[in-house]
Amino acid sequence: MGIRNNAFDPLKNIQTAASAMPEQLSKLNFRALTPFQRALMVSDGTVTKFIEAYTLDPVEIITLSQERYPLKDDHHWLEAEKNTDVILREVAISGIYSHNLYVYGVSHIVPERLPADIRERLEVQGEGIGRILIDHRMEMRREVLWFGRERVSDLPGKISSACNGDFISRSYRIIAGGKPIVLINERFPVMTDELPSHH
């Protein structure tokens, strides 16, 4: 009979760039999280589908802001050079039934690495990037960079009115064709463990 490992860590080897974690993030106590929150941290599919399946609460994606701008410097995680055009996009993902704020998401997208029809859906229709890529059957992989807990004070009005600024968050890249196409930061309000009940 093997020795029982009391230091079991299901997050081990998931973070590929933990040493580069931003200073405002503190380490997560994984055992103190709810099952819902733990699953959010390790999910490698579309977060909206997972939330809908777990809560039985259909979600809506609300675009808070979206702008295109040239990078001022080389971007390591996007593997993009200075002056590369990037789309900065902020979204709120909320439950249609519960009105709970589930996610505050910030994405940096390199549009030149995406097919024209995907760019159009992003820029014109404002849909979720994960669902769009899956709809187009684009071959891709997710690479989680880091996750942690943070307190954010400078929030868009729609976000600050729905939570107290205390989040667990994760950042990851979506890579396709050997290049990062998007860098995503997903912040989950700590109060998201207060799930809606359905009958």
The domain of 61 spans 22-193
Residue 34 within a domain: yes
**pLDDT of the residue at 114:** 86
Q: pLDDT per residue over 96-118, tens digit each?
A: 999 999 999 999 999 999 888 88
Mean pLDDT over the full length of the chain: 84
User: Looking at residue 146, which CATH number applies to its domain?
Assistant: 3.40.1410.10
Provide the number of structural domains found in the chain.
Answer: 1
Tokens of 141: 């992989």
Residue 85 within a domain: yes
Residue 10 within a domain: no
Residue 182 within a domain: yes
Residue 29 within a domain: yes
Answer yes or no: is pLDDT of 35 > 60: yes
Q: Using a pLDDT cut of 90, give the percent of the chain over it.
A: 43
Residue 15 within a domain: no
Answer yes or no: is pLDDT of 195 > 50: no
Pairing of strands 179-189, 101-109: antiparallel
For residues 44-62, give the mean pLDDT: 89
For residues 29-42, give the mean pLDDT: 87
Residue 105 within a domain: yes
**Helical ranges in the chain per DSSP H:** 35-42, 47-55, 116-120, 129-135, 157-160
Dist CA 116 CA 121 (whole Å): 9
Tokens of 109: 């997208």
**pLDDT of the residue at 1:** 47
Taking the whole predicted model, whether its pTM rises above 0.75 is answered as yes
185, 106 Cβ separation under 8 angstroms: yes
Q: pLDDT per residue over 118-171, tens digit each?
A: 877 777 655 677 777 777 777 778 888 998 999 998 898 889 888 988 999 999
Dist CA 14 CA 7 (whole Å): 16
**pLDDT of the residue at 71:** 96
Answer yes or no: is pLDDT of 39 > 50: yes
**pLDDT of the residue at 83:** 97
37 burial via Cβ count (<10 Å: 0-12, 13-18, 19+): middle
Answer yes or no: is pLDDT of 79 > 60: yes
Residue 128 within a domain: yes
**pLDDT of the residue at 185:** 95
Question: Which of the pair, 188 or 47, is modelled with greater confidence?
Answer: 188
